[in-house]
A and B are shown apart, each in its own frame.
Chain A
Amino acid sequence: MTLLGPSGCGKSTTLRCLAGFLEPDGGEIEVDGQSILATPSNRRGFGIVFQNYALFPHMTVAENIGYGLRLRKCSGSEIGTRVRDVMSLVKLTGLEHRMPREISGGQQQRVALARALVLKPKLLLLDEPLANLDARLRDEVRWLIRDLQQQSGITAFYVTHDQSEAMAISDMVAVMKKGRVAQFASPREIYQKPVERYVADFTGEANFLSCRSLEACGEGRMRISVGGAELDVDCVASLEPGEAAELLLRPESLQLATLGEDVTFRGRIVKSAFLGASQHCEIALADGGVLKLTTPPNDPVRIGDEVGIVVDRSHAWLMPEGTE
């Protein structure tokens, strides 16, 4: 699972509490139903991977990985075998006798991973492990972490501020806001059915339209009035009819259409950018709102054109009005 949130939201603090480096002011931390608050860090049996790798600079790669085994008084031959095995798992074979400063950042992070995994931890804590890597390496190491986690079956607790990283790597995501969990759900649910604007905003590009909810029309569905149109959309379960609400429209759930078709909104193109695989444009609506949307790269888009917008209703989502 992943803790996702902006810097300062308390995600690293949470991880440090788990690791035992900080004592929580209150509350309880349980593993398999047992409180671990009284267990010191060095007996919790968790593996930790840090953003800055935290490799021991005076030990070789193999010594770094084998350090925890040496602490456990494993025999020399066992350490040798287990270090060799985990090194081939993270594709570091051949670098045994290098010093950490002699290998690349991606390799260093793989050493850090191997060092944690070789101890078969009950829980693997990863604190922004990709933040110091460049984009290409980040992808590579991200897949590696995911593969290793799946292979080993070790529960991993991942902290990041990067939403795409969080979605790609985790089964469950907790979005944090000012020290509290705003939503805890699968990546798909977090993205498509956020409970509040904060979550929607943080997990990707989003359009928000203020609207009025008219009446419930089935379980978790609501008829709304927005920008002169009436729509039936899925909504947050707790939402009451008549409440002020916001409609979330992800840019990819909007389509440009020529006027006259059965369009939901009308507006004028005010900005456009060609991004290669797609185009990004902003449409000013008649009532003053602006919608961002993504269109296929070869759609004709000219600034100033009057256009219609079709909403993919299955991807529209209604939330209570944001408090921010």
Chain B
Amino acid sequence: MIKAKHLRLLLGAPAIVLIFVFMILPITNMVEMSFRVPGAVDPFGDDYTLMHYTRVFGDSFYWGVLARSLLTAGGVALLCLIVSFPIAWHLSKASGLKAALLYALIASPLMTGVLVRNFGWMIVTALNGPLNETLIALGIISQPFRLLFTQGLVILALVHVFVPFMVLPINNALRNIPDNLVEASVSMGASRYRVFRDIILPLSFPGIQPGVILVYVLAVAAYVTPALLGGQMVTYMPTMIIAELTGTFRWPLGSALAIMLSLSTILVVGVFTTLTWRLMERVRA
């Protein structure tokens, strides 16, 4: 018995070590760093101070960037949900080869490297790129429109790549809804809309909630896409933090910003979870 118990602990050991080395240690280190004084030559000095926090929390510029990051991520999550639900619906009704094909198509955004994917977006959406050329050739627009280096493109590209993270959990939830429930409600007189609103939507929430949280967290932390497609005009928290860390070498300030971002993300997710708690309790299988 004792042996079996030890063995089980041993199975968990790699995970524990991984989490400790790559999560607990770096975060501790980052928290400590955020209290350091700025260094004259080095990225940080020996003493501790609260100055970075007073600066970060006292400056409306940082709050603005934070708000943009959180709102953009929220928009991405919402759009992703709207785009993904019908896809998840089709996927949940498919089986066999059709399902396999759909799964592959849905996962396709993830099969390209992040740089290649974003360069693709840059080429397609450039002022004289294929998108503008096609639209002009079709006579839909007369002047090329600027999509590249706008917040809109950042959102579009993030929605594109995060769709799988939304589709898969919702697909799971939809598959768990017995057809009988739909038939029962229809027999009681429910229209298609009422079936969706009263039955399908609430019962798919066990997929919607994790999907929204997953996409939101990924979108808040996204760096490469905003950096490449957002250009210099649009600043997000991750791009600003990286700039502090690798551009200006103000590690303590960058750490304070990172902690500000982490805390506010946790807060948003916490509020979302609390608000949806009652619904989740009801639909919990």
Question: Hey, which bits of chain A sit against chain B, CB under 8 A?
Answer: 19-21, 41-48, 50, 52, 54-59, 67-68, 71-72, 99, 115-116, 119, 125
Contacts and interface: CB of A to CB of B under 8 A. Distances in A.
B282 interface: yes
Contact of B184 (A20, A54, A58): A54
Given A48-B184, A54-B181, 7 more contacts: A42-B188, A42-B191, A43-B189, A45-B189, A52-B180, A67-B185, A119-B189
Most buried by A among B181, B188, B194: B188
A19 B189 contact: no
Interface string B58-85: 0000000000000000000000000000
Contacts of B181: 54, 56
B198 A67 contact: yes
Nearest to A45: B189
Interface residues of B, number: 21
B32 interface: no
Nearest to A54: B180
Contact of B199 (A21, A44, A56): A56
B203 A47 contact: no
B21 interface: no
B180 A42 contact: no
B188 A71 contact: yes
A115 B189 CA distance: 12
A232 to B, nearest CB: 52
Given A58-B282, A58-B283, A67-B198, A72 B183 contact: no
Contact of A42 (B189, B202, B279, B282): B189
Contacts of A125: 187
Given A58-B202, A67-B198, A115 B282 contact: no
B285 interface: yes
A159 to B, nearest CB: 14
A71 B279 CA distance: 21
Interface in B185-241: 185-191, 194, 198-199, 202-203
Given A50-B180, A52-B178, A71-B194, A57 B187 contact: no
A56 B279 CA distance: 14
23 contacts: A19-B183, A19-B187, A20-B186, A21-B183, A41-B186, A42-B188, A43-B189, A48-B184, A48-B187, A50-B184, A52-B178, A54-B178, A54-B180, A56-B185, A57-B283, A57-B285, A58-B283, A67-B185, A68-B189, A71-B194, A72-B189, A115-B184, A119-B188
Contacts of A20: 186
Top 5 A-B pairs ranked by shortest CB distance?
A: A68-B188, A54-B180, A54-B184, A48-B187, A58-B282
Contacts of A43: 189
A208 B178 CA distance: 44
Contact of B187 (A47, A55, A56, A59): A47
Contacts of B194: 71
Given A58-B202, A67-B198, A71-B194, A41 B187 contact: yes
A20 B189 CA distance: 12
Contacts of A47: 187-188
Contacts of A99: 282
B187 A46 contact: yes
Given A57-B285, A58-B202, A67-B198, A42 B183 contact: no
Contact of A115 (B180, B188, B191): B188
A68 B186 CA distance: 9
- Which residue of A42, A45, A99 has the most chain B CB atoms within 10 A of its CB atom? A42
A48 B183 contact: yes
B187 A42 contact: yes
A50 B279 CA distance: 26
Contact of A57 (B189, B190, B203): B203
Given A19-B183, A48-B183, A52-B178, A58 B203 contact: yes
Nearest to B280: A58
A83 B109 CA distance: 50
Interface in B39-55: none
Contacts of A56: 181, 184-185, 198-199
B210 to A, nearest CB: 17
A67 B181 CA distance: 12
Contacts of A67: 185, 188, 198
B69 to A, nearest CB: 34
A46 B183 CA distance: 11
A175 B283 CA distance: 40
Nearest to A59: B282
Contacts of A48: 183-184, 187
A57 B176 CA distance: 12
B96 to A, nearest CB: 21
A115 B202 CA distance: 20
Nearest to A72: B189
A62 B178 CA distance: 21
A115 B180 CA distance: 14
Contacts of A21: 183, 186
